[in-house]
Amino acid sequence: MANTLLFKKAEEHLVGGVNSPVRSFNYIGREPILIKKGSGSRIYDYDGNSYIDYVLSYGASILGHAHPGVVKALSSALKNGFSFGATNLKEVELARLIKNAISSIEKLRFVNSGTEATLSATRLARAYTGRNRVLRLKNSYHGHADYLLEEIDKASIEEVFKKSGNKIAAVIVEPVGGNFGVVLPDTDFLKRLRELTKEYGALLIFDEVITGFRFRYGSVSDIIGVNPDLICLGKIIGGGLSIGAYGGGKEIMDNLAPLGTVYQGSTFAGNPIVMQAGIATLEELRSKKYEFLEELAGRLAGAIREEAKKQKIDLEVAHYRTIFSVRFKEKAKFQAFYKKLLKRGVYFAPSENEANFVSFSHTRKDIDNTIKVVTNALGEI
């Protein structure tokens, strides 16, 4: 099969044959599929198989793959050059769109990935407060540099602040978790965290790399009613291309060079190609009804939950608005379930720790077909 041969070739040149560990399918216990192209709600491998895609570049492709409006915008932008190492008006326009959509952002800075966004935001917090400790919650994920942060348990947050609150620069948190399965927002906890950080002069950073523009046109912070000092963004705001951003109030953001002393630069940040993809995506999203995504995700998540209950299969479906995850009590059953989905043309995230997403290219028929596949797969494991 082409996929098998191509993955062997990939292993010769790429570490583990991949550029991100989850793509290896190690969790599934089989070789991965290699993707040749994507269109709308579907992706296609090198053996000619098509799959209804619920990974969507881990949430980045909210309009679906190769959306005509984004493709047209990119085709136009490519004619004028790729990257200049100088400011262009496309980055100004995308920044304006983001600012207008998110109430707590007065200024922002573009970077190239979510990891860069969270890393840069925590550096800025340290400089602004003159403190070094940055806390993150257990089982959260803020990019592959988050080992630099101090991990704490949610239950111990009050005690940590009482003991050493004057040494804490910031707390960074995913308001809705998406990297340990879907973790629903704990609004009471987030409100208390906002009170604690204000009381002790620390910053509250929301990592909305996944959630920004995922549940509404804007941030999840405006849904739950908690305004952080800094917000980190990525994925959707780049229209499927590599991007990150972090923003907040002027008083904090103006500590970045050239206005302040915190140096953070980049060769490719704000390049007109990514900016144009982001602009086209956000302009398209402004007229979209997120209730449609909620309907699709809710139907699918609910059907998985009900079918598992009917067949007495021990699994947990975590669902929030437009995202969901599935976790089996036994890993072997998830592996068997996943392989049966693939065989029948449904592509879920190849790890129970990852979220699944729907796009505006998905249809009710896609969901109907997926429910049939899920029902059969659960009946066979």
Residue 258, Cβ neighbours under 10 Å: how many? 7
What is the distance between the alpha carbons of residues 235 and 140, in angstroms, rounded to a whole number?
17
Amino acid identity for residue 376 in this structure = N
Q: Which of 235, 320, 338, 347 is catalytic?
A: 235
Beta strands 230-234 and 50-53 are: unpaired
Amino acid identity for residue 96 in this structure = R
Q: Which of 141, 246, 320, 338 is catalytic?
A: 141
Sign of the Cα pseudo-torsion (71, 285, 215, 125, in order): positive
At residue 111, the 3 state secondary structure works out as strand
Q: Which of 207, 229, 340, 347 is catalytic?
A: 207
116 with 127: CB under 8 angstroms?
Answer: no
| Longest CA span, the chain | 62
Report how far Cα 163 is from the mean position of its chain's Cα atoms. Answer: 33
Tokens of 288: 């979209």
DSSP letter, residue 149: S
Active site residue 141: yes
At residue 363, the 3 state secondary structure works out as coil
What is the distance between the alpha carbons of residues 115 and 202, in angstroms, rounded to a whole number?
21
What is the distance between the alpha carbons of residues 209 and 59, in angstroms, rounded to a whole number?
9
What is the distance between the alpha carbons of residues 139 and 98, in angstroms, rounded to a whole number?
28
Sign of the Cα pseudo-torsion (37, 98, 142, 288, in order): negative
Active site residue 314: no
Q: How many residues does the chain have?
A: 381
Active site residue 72: no
What is the distance between the alpha carbons of residues 65 and 140, in angstroms, rounded to a whole number?
28
N-term to C-term CA, the chain: 25
| CA torsion, ordered 185, 186, 187, 192, to nearest 10 deg | -140
Query: Known catalytic residues?
Result: 141, 207, 235
